[in-house]
Structure 1
Amino acid sequence: MGVMLFKWCLPAIMTAVHPFYMSVTEIRYNSPRKSLEISCRIFSDDLENVLKKESKQPLDIIHPKNRPAADSLVAQYLRRHLFLSADGKPVSLKYLGYEISEDATWCYLECTPMAPFRKLDIKNDILYAEHGTQSHMLHVIVNDRRQSTKLDNPSSSATFSF
């Protein structure tokens, strides 16, 4: 009985010892506004650690002493690690800001105006250099049609067709 219980609990114990690394990116095409709206959910401690490492500056993204500087670091990081192209043309993303929700940082970007598209290519390698087991869930919603995929490091590219 004790051995069976141990085997059943082992995955939970291993998860506690070896945490998982997951981010979620949702991309929604807003037809009335002709805009592409992007939100990225990233664990706050992971994002803060990579920003500290890259900038070589102390940083608290939850309670930043200088919010514009924190926003700038987040925006620069996202520009280097999240790329989109629609129908083969690069999409220029505008960083809107971030907010903290529990243990996650929600980062917001948009592209406007954005013409309707048939194919969206995404490259997302957020935190890949930091965590060999980093994964990303990607959700793309166009005309209320949702498509999703999961990327596991080192795979960083996905294509969605509508």
Structure 2
Amino acid sequence: MKKVKFIYLLLILPLFAFTMHKYYISLCEIEYVESQQAVQITLGMFIDDIEYTLNQDNNTELKIATKNEVSTIDEYFENYLNTHFKISINNKIQGYTYIGKEYDDDIVRFYLEITDIRKLNSIEVTNTSLIKYFDQQQNIIKIKANKKNKTYYLDKKTYKCLLKF
């Protein structure tokens, strides 16, 4: 009987490995709103991935999206994004305003904005978010501007994209 259980276990365990596979992705949506002369950015990441990354980088235990979350969590988020998420508009690096964040189940969405953009000739995005600890991380960038829609897939090797108008 023990032998049958052992064989059964050997056959079943590999199946769990395939069903428990985790995807490492983030989604960034960028839209140029000409009437407001603003670039609006929504960046979504899995909470457990950003939490692991911030905890490793800062040697801390942040407990994101729980009642024990640190009160300075927005500072951690803002500092991380300023380091790993950069935008150049018309060949000039732009600072953005961190408007805030929102938790939605297992995702955190960050809201960012760049103002005073009268004309958009090009937009370059550099996104190295989460790739330090997750080799298979893929950062998807969707840009909607000047009547164009373009999607880019960034990873550890290709972490920049450029769209010219």
Provide the secondary structure at the position in 2 that maps to 1:32.
Answer: helix
* Structure 1 equivalent of residue 88 of structure 2: 85
Does 1:111 pair with 2:111?
no
Distance of 2:120 and 2:18 partners within structure 1: 40
TM-score of the pair, normalised by structure 2 = 0.84
Percentage of identical aligned residues: 23
**Shift, 1:99, TM fit:** 0.7
Distance of aligned partners of 1:61 and 1:121 in 2 relative to their CA distance in 1, 3 Å threshold: same
Give per-residue Cα distances to partners, 1:99-141, cap 9 Å, x unaligned.
Answer: 1111111011111122221111111010010111100110111
**Equivalent of residue 157 in structure 1, options 143, 150, 160:** 160
Unaligned runs of at least 5 residues, structure 1: 1-11
Does 1:99 pair with 2:108?
no
**Shift, 1:15, TM fit:** 4.7
Unaligned runs of at least 5 residues, structure 2: 1-14
Q: Do the aligned residues in 2 keep the contact of 1:64 with 1:70 (CA within 8 Å)?
A: no
**Shift, 1:14, TM fit:** 5.6
**Which has the greater radius of gyration?**
2
How well do the aligned residues superpose, as a CA RMSD in angstroms?
A: 1.8
Distance of 2:40 and 2:67 partners within structure 1: 25
Moved over 4 A (4+): 12-15, 64-68
Provide the secondary structure at the position in 1 that maps to 2:72.
Answer: helix
Moved more, 119-128 or 56-65: 56-65
Provide the secondary structure at the position in 2 that maps to 1:154.
Answer: coil
**Equivalent of residue 59 in structure 2, options 56, 61, 69:** 56
TM-score of the pair, normalised by structure 1 = 0.85
